[in-house]
Chains A and B, each alone.
Chain A
Amino acid sequence: MNELLRRLLLLPPQASTIARDIDYLHYFVIITTMAGAAGVAALSLYYIVRYREGAGHGMNPPPDPRPYHAPGGVSLWLELSLIGGLLALFVTWWIIGFCQFIRIVEPPSDSMTIYVMGKQWMWSFAYPHGGGSVGVLYVPTGRPVKLLMTSRDVIHSFYAPDFRLKTDVVPGRTTQLWFEVKEPGRHPIYCAEMCGAGHSVMRAEVIALADADYERTIEGLAPLAIAGPVQGQAIPFEAEPQAPLSLAAMGQRVAAEAGCLRCHTVDGTPHIGPTWAGLYDAVIPLADGTQVRADDAYLTRSMMDPAAELHRGFLAVMPSYQGLLTAPQLGAIVEYIHALRDVHRDEGAAPLPVPVPGLVPLVTPLEGAAPGEPRAVTPGSAGGPP
Chain B
Amino acid sequence: MTSYLTETTGIKSWLLTKDHKRIALLFMVATAAALMLGGVFAMVIRFELIGPGPDLMAQLTYNRMFTHHGVVMVFLFMVPVIPTVFGNFFLPMMIGAPDVAFPRLNLASFYVYCAGAVIVLASLWFGGVDTGWTFYTPYSTTSPTSVAVAAFGVFVVGVSSILTGLNFIVTVHTLRARNLRWMMMPLFVWAIYATAIIQVIATPVLGMSLLLVALDHAWGLGIFDPSMGGDPVLFQHLFWFYSHPAVYIMIVPAMGVVSEVVCTFSHNRPSSYRAIAFSSLGIAFIGFVTWGHHMFVAGMSVVDVGIFGILSMIVAIFSAIKVFTWTITLKHGRIRFTTPMLYFFGFMFLFVFGGMTGVAVATSSLDVHWTDTYFVVAHFHFIMVGGTLTMYLAAIHYWFPKMFGRMYPERWGLIGAAGVILGFIFTFTPQFLLGNAGMPRRYATYPAEYQWLNVASTAGATILAMGLLVNLGYLIWALFKGPRAERNPWGSRSYEWLAPTPPPVHNFEAPLEITRGPYDYHLPEHE
Q: Is there direct touching of A and B in the complex, by C-beta distance under 8 Å? A: yes
List A residues at the B interface (Cβ < 8 Å). 9-12, 22, 25-26, 29-30, 32-34, 36-38, 40-41, 43-45, 47-48, 51-53, 60-65, 67-69, 71-74, 79, 82-83, 86-87, 90-91, 93-94, 96-105, 153-155, 157, 159, 161-162, 164-168, 170-173, 175, 188, 190-201, 231-232, 304-305, 320, 322-323
Chain B neighbourhood of A69, CB < 8 A: 183-184, 273-274, 517
Residues on the A chain within 8 Å of B299, using CB: 167-168, 170, 173, 175
Contact present for B324 and A304 (CB under 8 Å): no
A40 touches B369 (CB 8 A): no
Complex Cα–Cα for A362 and B341 (A): 73
Q: A337–B437 Cα gap in the complex (Å)?
A: 42
CB contact between A26 and one of B331, B336, B366 (< 8 Å): that residue: B366
Q: Is B409 an interface residue (CB 8 A)?
A: no
Q: Are B353 and A73 in contact (CB under 8 A)?
A: no
Contact yes or no, A199 B443, CB < 8 A: yes
Is A51 in contact with B331, judged by CB distance below 8 angstroms? yes
State whether B373 touches A192 (Cβ < 8 A).
yes
Residues of A within 8 A of B183 (CB): 69
* Residues in A whose Cβ lies below 8 Å from that of B369: 22, 26, 161, 164-166
- Inter-chain CA distance A9–B345, complex, in Å, is 26
Of A40, A43, A172, which is within 8 A of B231 by CB?
A172
The distance from the CB of A325 to the nearest CB of chain B, in whole angstroms, is: 13
Residues of B within 8 A of A199 (CB): 59, 63, 442-444
Cα distance, A63 to B266, chains bound together (Å): 10
Instruction: Name A155's contact: one of B138, B365, B373 (CB within 8 Å).
Output: B138
Q: Is there a chain A Cβ closer than 8 Å to B297's Cβ?
A: yes
The one of B329, B345, B356, B442 in contact with A37, judged by C-beta atoms closer than 8 angstroms, is: B356
Give the one of B298, B328, B365, B518 with max A CB within 10 A: B365
* Min distance, Cβ B265 to any Cβ of chain A, angstroms: 9
B302-339, CB under 8 A of A: which get 1 and which 0?
A: 10011001100110110011011001111111111100
Q: A53-B336, A71-B272 are in contact. Are A104 and B320 (CB under 8 A)?
A: no
In the complex the two chains form, what is the Cα distance from A159 to B331 in whole Å? 48
Shortest Cβ distance from B260 into chain A, in angstroms?
Answer: 14
Nearest CB on A from B372, distance (A)? 4
Contact B63 A197 (CB under 8 A): yes
Our pick among A22, A101, A198 for the contact of B59 (Cβ within 8 Å) is A198
Selecting from B456-464, B465-473, B519-527, the interface stretch reads: B519-527
| Binary flags per residue of B122-154, CB closer than 8 Å to A gives 1, else 0 | 000000001110101111001100000000000
In the complex with contacts A62-B522, A83-B320, A165-B368, A93-B359 CB distance below 8 A: yes
B462 to A: closest C-beta gap in Å = 23
Are the CB atoms of B298 and A168 closer together than 8 Å?
A: yes
**How distant is B358 from chain A, measured CB to nearest CB, in Å?**
9
Which of A73, A153, A323 has the largest number of chain B CB atoms within 10 A? A73
B348 interface contact, C-beta 8 A: yes
**A159 vs B368: C-alpha distance when bound (angstroms):** 9
Chain B residue with Cβ nearest A193: B372
B500 / chain A contacts, CB cutoff of 8 Å: none
Partner of B139, one of A11, A99, A154, A159: A154
| Residues in B whose Cβ lies below 8 Å from that of A60 | 332-334
Q: Given A67-B517, A93-B363, A97-B309 in contact, is the A43-B297 Cβ separation under 8 Å? A: no
29 contacts between A and B (CB under 8 A): A22-B368, A38-B349, A41-B345, A51-B333, A52-B336, A61-B332, A63-B268, A63-B522, A64-B522, A65-B522, A68-B269, A73-B328, A73-B331, A90-B313, A93-B313, A97-B364, A101-B296, A101-B302, A101-B365, A154-B142, A155-B232, A172-B230, A194-B134, A196-B139, A196-B143, A197-B58, A198-B59, A200-B446, A305-B229
Asked if A90 contacts B316 (CB within 8 A), the reply is yes
Instruction: Give Cα A195–Cα B60 distance, bound, in whole angstroms.
Output: 11
Of the candidates A10, A43, A71, A166, which one forms a contact with B327 in the assembled complex, judged by CB atoms under 8 Å apart? Answer: A43
> Which residues of chain B from 245 to 285 have a CB within 8 Å of any chain A CB?
266-275
Residue of A nearest to B62 (CB): A200
Contact of A168 among B297, B327, B364 (CB under 8 A): B297
B345 touches A200 (CB 8 A): no
Instruction: With a 10 A CB-CB cut-off, give which of A100, A161, A193, A232 has the most chain B CB atoms.
Output: A193
A12, A29, A73: the one contacting B438 at CB < 8 Å is A12
Distance in angstroms between the alpha carbons of A320 and B60 in the assembled complex: 32
> B227: which A residues are within 8 A, CB to CB?
171-172, 231-232, 320, 322-323
In angstroms, Cα B434 to Cα A12, docked, is 11
Contact residues, B450-497 vs A (CB, 8 A): 453
Report the bound CA distance from A73 to B60 in whole Å.
Answer: 56
CA distance A321 to B306 in the complex (A): 34
Q: How far is the CA of A93 from the CA of B366 in the complex (A)?
A: 10
In the complex, what residues of B have CB within 8 A of residue A40's CB? 323, 327, 348-349, 352
Q: How far is the CA of A30 from the CA of B233 in the complex (A)?
A: 30
User: In the assembled complex, how far is the CB of residue A64 from the closest CB belonging to chain B, in whole angstroms?
Assistant: 6
Residue tally, chain B, CB below 8 Å to A: 101
B105 CB–A CB distance under 8 Å = no
Beta-carbon contact of B329 and A101 below 8 Å: no
- Residues of A within 8 Å of B302, CB to CB, are 101-102, 105
Q: How far is the CA of A217 from the CA of B125 in the complex (A)?
A: 51
Contact of B290 with A by CB under 8 A: no
Do A79 and B324 have beta carbons less than 8 Å apart?
yes
B167 within 8 A of A: no
CB contact between A101 and one of B139, B328, B364, B371 (< 8 Å): that residue = B364
- Which of B63, B273, B368, B437 is packed against the most chain A CB atoms within 10 Å? B368
State whether the Cβ of B445 lies closer than 8 Å to any Cβ in chain A.
yes
- Which residues on the B side are within 8 Å of A164 (C-beta)? 368-369
Q: Which residues of B contact A25 (CB under 8 A)?
A: 363, 365-366
A90-B317, A166-B297 given as contacts; is B440 within 8 A of A191 (CB)?
yes
Q: Which of B233, B330, B519 contacts A170 (CB 8 A)?
A: B233
> Is B436 among interface residues, defined by CB-CB distance under 8 A?
yes
Given contacts A64-B269, A87-B317, 11 further A-B contacts (CB under 8 A): A47-B330, A53-B267, A60-B334, A68-B518, A86-B317, A91-B310, A104-B368, A155-B232, A167-B297, A172-B232, A322-B226
Bound CA–CA A175/B372 (angstroms): 17
Distance to closest chain A CB from B135 (angstroms): 10
Specify the chain B residue showing the minimal Cβ separation from A120: B139
Please, how many angstroms separate the alpha-carbon atoms of A96 and B366 in the complex? 10
Min distance, Cβ B277 to any Cβ of chain A, angstroms: 9
CB distance from A10 to the nearest CB of B (A): 4
Check A51/B269 contact, CB under 8 A, given A10-B433, A29-B363, A200-B446.
Answer: no
Given known A60-B334, A73-B328, A305-B229, contact A22–B366 (CB-CB < 8 A): yes
Tell whether, in the assembled complex, residue A36 and residue B372 are in contact, meaning their CB atoms are under 8 Å apart. no
Give Cα distance in the complex from A60 to B522, angstroms.
12
| B84 contacts the other chain (CB 8 A) | no
Q: Smallest distance from the beta carbon of A368 to chain B beta carbons, Å?
A: 24
Question: Chain B residues with Cβ under 8 A from A96's Cβ?
Answer: 363, 365
Q: How far is the CB of B344 from chain A (nearest CB, A)?
A: 8
Q: Check A68–B297 contact: CB distance below 8 A.
A: no
Across the interface, A104 reaches (CB within 8 A) one of B365, B436, B442, B521, namely B365
**B445-A200 in contact (CB<8A):** yes
> Nearest-CB distance from B364 to chain A (Å)?
4
Which residue, of B359, B371, B517, B521, has the highest number of chain A Cβ atoms within 10 A?
Answer: B359
CA distance in complex: A188, B446 (Å): 12
Contact A51 B335 (CB under 8 A): yes
Give chain B residues whose Cβ lies under 8 Å from the Cβ of A97: 309, 363-366
Cβ–Cβ contact A48 & B330, under 8 A:
yes
**B357, CB-defined interface residue at 8 Å:** yes
Find chain B residues with CB under 8 A from A167 CB: 297, 299
A349 to B: closest C-beta gap in Å: 30
Contact partner, B352, options A26, A41, A67, A71, Cβ 8 Å: A41
Which A residue's beta carbon lies closest to that of B326? A44
In the complex, residue of chain B having the shortest beta-carbon distance to the beta carbon of A44: B348
